[in-house]
Amino acid sequence: MTGARETLGLDGGASPSEIRDRFLELVRQHPPDRDPERFAAIHAAYKALEDPTSSLQTLLFELEPRDDSWDAVAADVRKRIVRGRLELQSLLDLADPE
């Protein structure tokens, strides 16, 4: 399964503005009238990353270990925590949802 960040071609440190810019770039390349399936995948990926809570869940829990042992899962989660740099506003939004 391809993750939202991979669908948009982004790394774990992409800011909200970088996510939006990349989304708009891909929509121009794959408009819904010419490439509806690719557009749907791009739109779903953007929606998953647009919301700070959903973005954090994707970053931490979309596991990619080659085996499903607890050690592999724990190592993958650790890697995501270290790799992911969350914006201050994202953390504040998680702490105080509207």
pLDDT tens digits for 31-41?
999 999 999 99
In the CATH scheme, what architecture does the domain 4-95 have? Answer: Orthogonal Bundle (1.10)
What integer pLDDT is reported at residue 1 of this predicted model?
Answer: 37
39-76: b (≥16 Cβ within 10 Å) or e? bebbbebbebbeebeebbebbeebeeeeeeeeeeeeeb
pLDDT tens digits for 3-26?
888 899 987 777 888 889 999 999
Q: In terms of pTM, does the model score above 0.75?
A: no
Residue 43, pLDDT > 90, answer yes
